[in-house]
Structure 1
Amino acid sequence: MKLDPETDLSFTRTINAPPALLWECWTTPEHIKNFFMPKPHFIEACDIDLRVGGRFNTTMNVDGNKIENKGVYLEIVDGKKLVFTDTYSEGWAPAPDPFMTAIVEFEDDGNGGTTYTATARHRSSESRQTHEDMGFFDGWGTVATQLEEYAQSLAKG
């Protein structure tokens, strides 16, 4: 995938957990609630229909304010890649004000961990800049740290 620095944000990190476990975390609603928002914010509800065109809906709680985000999966490569967007909701209903398309990739690092890449693609350089200013790198980095901690707790359990 060729990234456009004008409209795309991306980072890669090694996570000390196997790809299969991270995949499970990203594709199970009860798991999503444990890592997907930087604390103290959290996911109140998550509804997943894991198929292309299926829903990926979340209700976020940010300082007591509920924010609903409805989206769909555009691509699913089992165990390796999830692509979802809020440009559409289930049934390919267009969103009035879409924000981004997310691509999350999981690659075995050969040492029991995962090379984890999160990419956000935006429709304009302005929306990309807004996302960066909102704290894309810190926010998605915090989510990656929380994902690692949560996945490790599942592995111990």
Structure 2
Amino acid sequence: MILDPRTDLTFTRKLKAPRDLLWECWTTPEHIRQFYVPKPHSVTGCEIDLRVGGRFNTTFDVEGNEMKSEGVFLEVIEGRKLVFTDAYSEGWKPAADPFMTAIIEFEDDGQGGTTYTATARHRSEESRQTHEDMGFFGGWTTVAEQLEAYAQSLMARA
């Protein structure tokens, strides 16, 4: 993937959890609720139809305010890659004010863990800067850490 530093934000982390489990966490509504937004915020609703054109809708509680995000999957490569956007909702209905397209990639690290890459693509340099100013790196790093901790808790239960 070719990144455009003017419009893309990205980071890569090594997570101490197997790729298949991280994939399951990212593709199951009950799991998404456990890690998808930095605490103390929470996911109060999630709908996933895991196919190209299928919905990826989430509802968040952020400091007592309900926020909704409706989107669709643009690419699904089983166990390896998810691409979703809020530029469209289910049925390819264009959004009035889209924010980003997210690309989540999972790669075995050869040691039982996963190389995890999250990229946010934006329509303009201004929207990219807004996302960075909102705390992209801190927020998405926190989400990755919460994902890792949650996946490890599932491994401990097994």
Normalised by the shorter chain, which TM-score bucket?
A: over 0.9
Match of 1:118 in 2: 118
Alpha-carbon distance, 1:88 to partner: 0.1
Matched position secondary structure for 2:35: coil
Alpha-carbon distance, 1:137 to partner: 0.2
Distance 1:45 1:32 in 2: 9
Distance 2:61 2:103 in 1: 23
Alpha-carbon RMSD across the aligned residues, in angstroms, is 0.2
Match of 2:100 in 1: 100
Distance 2:150 2:27 in 1: 14
Matched position secondary structure for 2:34: coil
Mapping of residues 78-157 of structure 1, within 5 Å: 78-157=78-157
Distance 2:156 2:24 in 1: 15
Structure 2 spans left out of the alignment, 5+ residues? none
Distance 2:123 2:80 in 1: 25
When the two structures are aligned, how many residues end up with a matched partner?
A: 157
Q: Does 1:55 align with 2:64?
A: no
Letter in 1 for 2:2: K
Distance 2:67 2:39 in 1: 15
Deviations 1:75-106 (A, max 9, x none): 00000000000000000000000000000000
Tell me the TM-score normalised to structure 2 length: 0.99
Alpha-carbon distance, 1:57 to partner: 0.1
Letter in 1 for 2:5: P
Distance 1:60 1:10 in 2: 23
Alpha-carbon distance, 1:116 to partner: 0.1
